[in-house]
Structure 1
Amino acid sequence: MRSIDYFDRGHDRAPGRAALIDAATGERFTFAEVKARTERIAVAMHAAGFSSQQPAALYGPNSAAIMIALLAIWRANGQWVPVNTRNAIDANAAYLNYVRCGWLFYHSSMAADVALLRARVPSLTQCICLDRAMDGDASLDDLVAGAPDADLPDFSDPFGAPHDVVGLFPTGGTTGPSKGVVVTNLGWGTMLETLGAAVDGRTDAPVSLVVAPITHAAGPVALGTLALGATQVILPGFDAPAVLRAIAEHRVTHMYLPPTALYGLLEAAEQALPDVSSLRVFILVGSPVSPEKLRRAVEVFGPCMCQAYGQVESPMITTWLPPETVSAAAAGDHPERLASCGRPTRSVQVAIMDDDGRLLPDGQRGEIVVRGVLVSKEYFELPAATAEARQFGWHHTGDVAYRDADGYYYIVDRKKDMVVTGGFNVFTAEVEAAITELAAVRECAVIGIPHDKWGEQVHAIVVAEGIDEQAVIAHARVRLGGVKAPKSVSFVDAIPRTAAGKMDKNALRAGYWRDGARMVN
């Protein structure tokens, strides 16, 4: 099925049920209202020159309007281009240029950023402001008002248009722009069906809390529960006390957050814990979770905690650790499973592979590799990168793990030179390239080190003279944005090298990770 067909599945369950509740504005939209609104927007887009399978982006804080615009892009058979508003403008412009994005829906609070993007991205021919007319750009209401009274073409086929593209999802960049992961209806539908099988049937009145950025990852997760008929309560951003209050006020049953946000909730719960007994599914995705904090989360939030593992190229639910397993582990039944990311889901094969392409037995460490319809089609216009990621007939994740005798996977390290901080991927080569632009810096190595709130933080180890930590951080923040810039810097006389002359990052990281058994957080 097409992506929008999953929303329509939820609509058909109960058209009059609330689909979206915007906690900031108080707006409420039923499934029927959202369907009608997205149909009108999609018709208006095509009347204004939008083409089927054209890339379109969203830019703004969480809101019902952003969610409606995302659904409208899919209804118009567009390719969604996620844009992280926390990235530097240059990084976002580079990605929009790479995928030749033509349409951008934005909130007026982001107008200054959009002006910079428009100047840097010649392919942006249509910029629509969601909430009001802005600097010559039509508002969404203006766009819809000018649309003809017409029906949309049927963009599907007897097979559900499996090869049409749902989105061009960015990975973290290395020394250049991010690679675009081409996600088709086939892979996307597989993810949604797999997620639905994992979380459905736990309540007759599902309510899902949307806290993480819709423009990044929360949009896809919201669609997964919309397909089940779940009401989406949308918060503008993460604030731990506000999240706890929203759970109690709206009787939230389903939610998704990265582990770093969970840690903030646990801290806030020590001060005040409203009634969270409605929770049935609390999914952790984005990075490994601290086993001790996961045990504590079961105590605070009840038997709802679960974890999924995936990446853009094999999205979200490659492996699954269900609430029942987490709760049993927290109670002492196989407590080691609190450190696991679960077992493979029904639509993928998962294995452990060494550098020579040999599949490894239980207990041996190697790279997690995946195959199946969940795996994305390719990297956009990057055949060499696609071939590299698909060596030996499997998709390579870059994560190092082992499998136990019961089929549970345990991530212990990353093969890719990458830091996952607050659920965001940061490739260290990009940060190193920015820092070494400074004339005072002779050499730089960037690693991830443990952080109680973010899981990992970006740390730079620098060989330099005549420059201090704040100057290095400030330069990187301007070049890369707040997420990718290092949060700390240490200065050394020389960076250790391997026998091959490469920077020995394992040696650098070993000083920061407690026992070396698991160098991810």
Structure 2
Amino acid sequence: MKQGNLRAALAQDPRVGAGNVPLMLAEHGADLDAPRMGFDSAVDGIAAYTLLSLRQLTERVAARAEWFARKGIGRRDPVALPVTSAADVFLNFFALNRLGAIPALMNGNMPLDVAAAYIRRLACAGVVVDADHDALREHDLGAPVLGDAAETGTGDPDQAPPHYRHHGDDPVAITHSSGTTRVPAAVVHSHDSLFAAVRAVRLTEARPYGKVRELSVLPAAHAAGIIVVNQALCNGYEILCLSAQGGPFERSGEVILDAIERWRPTGVFGFAVTWAELARHDLTTRDLSSVRNWSSTGDCAHEAHVRRLVAVGSHLTWTREGAVEVAGSKFIDMLGSTEMGHSAFRITHRLGSDRYDRCVGTPYPFAEVALLDLTTGEEVPDGQVGHCALKSPTLAPGYWNDSAATYRSRFNGYYLTGDLMYRDAEGYYYHVDRASDAIDLGDGNWLYTALCEERLLARIPDVRDCTVLATRQDDGSVVTDVLLVLRDGADTGPGATTEREAAVRATLGEAAARTVRRIETVRDDDMTVGPTGKVRKFVMRQRILAQAQHGR
């Protein structure tokens, strides 16, 4: 079947969902032997960076499904997957869904003690570990370890059970939040919810001109990772999934840049932390000419990082002679979260773009957004900050084994994302902070830490990254700590430090500047981050309070 007709057929078939994409592609006549999906690690003797065809992918998935079936895993059985490689995540995701089981995907960077506690709360039917997580066998997991991820591909694909036929409401994955404010929460996704945006947007929008090769640096264990893989498979794109995700805890910028030069992708997917890691490098020294699009989800990306990325790469422009590659790429910023399932907002930046200051663009057509005053339940007017509330077919049904958290996040029929935003008169939305991080300074003044960080990065060139922590003390007063990570070669002399601190205070504004307790230059390692590389401000605030109480 031609790719255009195949995309239309998949979009219109209500049976297609996140749990059965390889099956549905085969049933709709997709080319079984075209190269489709690869990984940065070997798969059952197939070398790293080798693209598997749909036929090979299906066979490798069937082998794993048979292995799990022999272990007694079947319909509705949750299975925890604390593994590192993207290959182990996705192949076992597809295999467990073939059985109607529920893969509980776990970021490989989660500390072992946290991972053990998380698995116990899942109350799962079994656990699969890899060499990096073998020590979990020594913990009380509340479930048996079924084996090592390296064993799962040894099953007999010819003996695999028939593919389970999913209903739209069936759970197809449990993923987890980044844990920036607490222990990661287990979020359940359904067959329909995790495919809704692919159906509504990715299969109906215009297909890019020419060959599409995508590099996913997203955490494979995240909902966004699953969505990107499914949309690539359905659209007939080639996709390579990296296990390295970017972020200061990995120093993976070099790995990602090396992969871009080797793989020559037209598009790169990542989180905001990925771009921060890339921005620490001199991108002009690397061959990034193949990249037309950088696509971001999760947190809003920083202007300072976006401008460095759109300055490299290339894009197509049309002339009398046809399509011509010219310098400069696009950056597609899409604000989302685990619970949202798929980003609800998007904005595209190019060379010369000037709509920044944490503008996240406009909502997708499938997303109904309201900015609410939670005291009155009413929508706030344009220009006023409110709590972001969302109705969308992409929303996760709730939290696994935690109905209290599920219902607590709902308000007047909406899901509360935990974000503070405002809308301008033109209908563009701006993200100012997480509700848990913002501080009311009184007299109508608020300290929005994320917005402060955005402006510090944009206005002080020698600051590469930063974190603003605002804490209300026991006496009701507010203290603010500003932690700066400087660019390599930045002047750290007394004069430059004094000038930099003055610029920080001016950027924060008078009301916030009065709360500043310290402005300190730190290293990347001084930041407390979660599994996906996001700064855990809640933990850092608690640490600062504890130090203050002990006079340090």
Residues 1:223 and 2:238 are matched in the alignment: no
C-alpha deviation, 1:24, in angstroms? 4.3
C-alpha deviation, 1:368, in angstroms? 0.7
| Cα distance change of structure 1 residues 342 and 482 upon mapping to structure 2, 3 Å threshold | closer
Find the residue that maps to 1:186 and give its secondary structure: coil
2:352 match = 331
| Cα distance change of structure 1 residues 222 and 51 upon mapping to structure 2, 3 Å threshold | same
1:404 match = 424
After superposition, residues 398-437 of structure 1 pair within 5 angstroms as: 398-417=418-437
| Residue ranges of structure 1 left out of the alignment (5+ in a row) | 132-138, 433-442, 455-460, 464-468, 496-521
1:361 match = 381
Q: Is the 8 A contact 1:61 1:107 kept in 2?
A: yes
- CA–CA distance in structure 2, aligned partners of residues 303 and 40 of structure 1: 40
Deviations 1:180-199 (A, max 9, x none): 22211121111333452587
The code of the aligned residue for 1:351 comes to A
The code of the aligned residue for 2:403 comes to P
1:61 to 80, 84, 88: 84
Residues 1:304 and 2:349 are matched in the alignment: no
The code of the aligned residue for 1:3 comes to A
Q: Is the 8 A contact 1:165 1:182 kept in 2?
A: yes
1:208 to 201, 214, 230: 214
After superposition, residues 315-330 of structure 1 pair within 5 angstroms as: 315-321=341-347, 323=348, 326-327=349-350, 330=351
C-alpha deviation, 1:406, in angstroms? 2.3
- CA–CA distance in structure 2, aligned partners of residues 107 and 222 of structure 1: 22
Deviations 1:221-259 (A, max 9, x none): 323322222222233414323322322332212221122
With normalisation by structure 1, the TM-score equals 0.73
Identity of aligned residues (%): 20
1:383 match = 403
C-alpha deviation, 1:360, in angstroms? 1.6
Residues 1:15 and 2:37 are matched in the alignment: no
- CA–CA distance in structure 2, aligned partners of residues 453 and 39 of structure 1: 49
| Cα distance change of structure 1 residues 338 and 63 upon mapping to structure 2, 3 Å threshold | same
- CA–CA distance in structure 2, aligned partners of residues 383 and 173 of structure 1: 18
| Residue ranges of structure 2 left out of the alignment (5+ in a row) | 1-15, 247-251, 314-327, 439-448, 454-466, 488-514
After superposition, residues 46-445 of structure 1 pair within 5 angstroms as: 46-112=69-135, 114-116=136-138, 119-123=139-143, 125-131=144-150, 139-142=151-154, 144-145=155-156, 149=159, 151-156=161-166, 161-171=167-177, 177-194=183-200, 196-197=202-203, 201-216=207-222, 217-237=224-244, 238=246, 239-270=252-283, 272-274=285-287, 276-301=288-313, 302-321=328-347, 323=348, 326-327=349-350, 330-332=351-353, 335-337=354-356, 339-356=358-375, 357-417=377-437
| Cα distance change of structure 1 residues 18 and 183 upon mapping to structure 2, 3 Å threshold | same
- CA–CA distance in structure 1, aligned partners of residues 53 and 357 of structure 2: 38
The code of the aligned residue for 2:418 comes to G
Residues 1:37 and 2:60 are matched in the alignment: yes
- CA–CA distance in structure 1, aligned partners of residues 312 and 90 of structure 2: 30
C-alpha deviation, 1:89, in angstroms? 2.1
Residues 1:2 and 2:17 are matched in the alignment: yes
Q: Is the 8 A contact 2:368 2:390 kept in 1?
A: yes
1:505 match = none
Task: Give the number of aligned pairs.
Answer: 440
Q: Is the 8 A contact 1:195 1:317 kept in 2?
A: no
With normalisation by structure 2, the TM-score equals 0.69
Find the residue that maps to 1:369 and give its secondary structure: strand
C-alpha deviation, 1:71, in angstroms? 1.8
